[in-house]
Amino acid sequence: MSIIKFGTDGWRAVISEDFTFDNVKKVAQGVADYVLSQRDILKDRAFRVVVGYDTRFLSYKYAEITACITASNSIPTILADRPSPTPSVSYAIKSKNLIGGIVITASHNPARYNGMKYKAYYSGSATPDITKRIEQYLGANEVKYRPLKELKEEKILVVRDIVSGHLEFIKKYVKLKMIRKSRLKVLVDSMYGVGNNYTAELLKGGRIKVDTIHEEANPGFGKINPEPIMPNLKELSDKTKKGGYSIGLATDGDADRLGVTLPNGKLLTGHKVMTLLLLHLLEDKKMKGDVVQTICGTVLIEKICKKYNLKMHETPVGFKYICGVMQKDNILVGGEETGGVAFKGYMPERDGILSGLLILEMMAMRHKPLDRIIKDIDKEYGTYEYRRLDMRVPDAVKNGLMGHFKGKALKKVLDKDVVEVKDYDGYKFICRDRSWLMLRLSGTEPIVRIYAEAPNEKTALKMLDFGKKIVEGV
């Protein structure tokens, strides 16, 4: 019997192995039981949930089953009428004051995976406490299921567009007219996911030119993982360079993360993306607030916070932790190294479409090309090159890796003295020059992640290789 566990952001599993119709029903019933337990606690919220889904194989069917189960448990349910960005689902919770929402998606995972995310009443990722409660409900009660047609006729379940409201908010948050007046040439890659052609639609008209690739749905994602990193963005990189584009933008499978390529085709790290967004809100939009990033965040953000006297919060990996801080503190920007960023005045939720438009807004407001903006940042704060390596390893190695460092943490990384060790989510070894190496286990895949940041790419890659040899030696 498979064990269903929620990872860094929801439950994910391989389709037809653990992600089966029976298990989806089991999890949907567990979510329904949790929602029912909150009815008297969250009396100020509308007792209704929204269910969305991505472009993966059978996602629409899994979403229909999920919606039928919540509705069969007497929870009024809104089912999305099309594949929808995850932030669209979260925004529906916010705008309609709902008690919660569910997204059928495996986000950036390979095509063989699917998954389920629960979005809480605050329009963000479920906290560990919430997912623990949902896991406790799994199998506790018999699955209640009635057919879609019957539930629609009784109006317990309605099928609606949930994307338009999300896009209308974006129109108010970003100066689209200013961007349209720019002469930017933009290439957008939706990676066959739910990003669709929404960015192009929002920017149509004016002097800006926006071209798109991979905006059509494809459950196989063109045989690449829908994660906005290399080599998945090689086509975007090549076309950005050869086509003379000002910038390339990519959204992941469920459109809550952003990848960015420079005119020369170089892909920015998620750290640089977050840095651009933070500086834009601080310096151009004159917004105020503190910052939160994960343990594998960049020294660059620390330096900016020091300059502007901002408090910097640090969390374990997983946006659910960032979301928790954003609910309690006055946070301007919250983000992670994978290009998922949330903003003040919105909701504690990542949004790849909004992030891309904000970077275009930055370019338009500064009247500078993106590579010039990056050079200015490097001159002000110094250069930081971040790299990550994912190693697929046997379970025995994965399970024993963290124990390998207990009581015998590294003293040196290459020839650099380790001056600080953080061990609350994997192991991060920080050197005297502020370069660092980190190893941690993936919360959603049988993978060990190795991270490194150094003043130049050559050193960062050497540190990754150093970490790889450690894993191979366990």
pLDDT of residue 397: 77
Show the 3-state SS of the chain.
Answer: CCCCCCECCEEEEEECCCECHHHHHHHHHHHHHHHHHHCCCCCCCEEEEEEEECCCCCHHHHHHHHHHHHHHCCCCEEEECCCCCHHHHHHHHHHHCEEEEEEECCCCCCCCEEEEEEECCCCCECCHHHHHHHHHHCCCCCCCCCCHHHHHHCCCEEEECCHHHHHHHHHHHCCHHHHHHCCCEEEEECCCCCCCCHHHHHHCCCCCEEEEECCCCCCCHHHCCCCCCCCCCHHHHHHHHHCCCCEEEEECCCCCCEEEECCCCCECCHHHHHHHHHHHHHHHCCCCCEEEEECCCCHHHHHHHHHCCCCEEEECCCHHHHHHHHHHCCEEEEECCCCCEEECCCCCCCCHHHHHHHHHHHHHHHCCCHHHHHHHHHHHHCCCEEEEEEEECCHHHHHHHHHHCCCCCCCEECCEEEEEEECCCCEEEEECCCCEEEEEECCCCCEEEEEEEECCHHHHHHHHHHHHHHHHHC
Quick: pLDDT tens for 91-136: 999 999 999 999 999 999 999 999 999 999 999 999 999 999 999 9
Q: What structural domains does the chain harbor?
A: 11-163 (3.40.120.10), 268-350 (3.40.120.10), 385-473 (3.30.310.50)
pLDDT of residue 443: 66
pLDDT of residue 393: 85
Q: For every one of its 474 residues, what pLDDT tens digit does the chain have, with 9 covering 90 and above?
A: 467 888 878 899 999 999 999 999 999 999 999 999 999 999 999 999 999 999 999 999 999 999 999 999 999 999 999 999 999 999 999 999 999 999 999 999 999 999 999 999 999 999 999 999 999 999 999 999 999 999 999 999 999 999 999 999 999 999 999 999 999 999 999 999 999 999 999 999 999 999 999 999 999 999 999 999 999 999 999 999 999 999 999 999 999 999 999 999 999 999 999 999 999 999 999 999 999 999 999 999 999 999 999 999 999 998 999 999 999 999 999 999 999 999 999 999 999 999 999 999 999 999 999 999 999 999 999 999 999 999 998 777 777 788 878 877 899 999 999 999 999 999 999 999 999 999 998 866 778 999 999 999 999 999 999 999 999 887
pLDDT of residue 399: 72
Name the amino acid, one letter, at 281: L
First to last CA, the chain: 29
In sign, the C-alpha dihedral spanning 392, 394, 396, 397 is negative
State the pTM of this model: 0.95
Distance between CA atoms of 381 and 271, rounded to whole angstroms?
Answer: 13
Residue 432 near residue 419, CB atoms below 8 Å = yes
Quick: pLDDT tens for 324-369: 999 999 999 999 999 999 999 999 999 999 999 999 999 999 999 9
